[in-house]
Amino acid sequence: MHAAKIFDCLEKITAWTPKKNLFMFSLLFCFFSSQTVDMLYFLLIMVIFLLAYGVAQQAILYPNEAASWSMLSRILFRPYFQVYGELFVDPPDTRNYFFFLTHKKMNK
């Protein structure tokens, strides 16, 4: 009788475990998928505001400059780094492909 109860408990544990794992994976999938969608909406709103700020800043700082591809890089780079606290006292050199390297490496 005692062995039958132990066997019954073990059977219920092994029968419940795969269902529990499947349930947990489905909850994690729902959580991460909804968080991913929310993050993409946030990034879309952030890009819209950064572009609007970048265009306004470019128009105020350089009112008579002709349109060019380098202007597009300044519209994107300056506002993005200003979000993280970079003030760009000197204008950034956006033509340099090693823009993200340190100041010491850029001046070699």
Tens of pLDDT, residue by residue over 31-64, are: 888 888 899 999 999 999 999 999 999 999 888 9
For 12-28, b where at least 16 C-beta lie within 10 A, e where not — what string? eeeeeeeeeeeeeeeee
What pTM did the predictor assign? 0.56
Q: Where are the domains of the chain?
A: 2-106
Q: Which residue has the higher pLDDT, 107 or 2?
A: 2
Band (98; pLDDT cuts 50, 70, 90) = low
Band (88; pLDDT cuts 50, 70, 90) = confident
The chain-wide mean pLDDT, for the chain, equals 78
Tokens representing residue 65 in the block: 């400059």
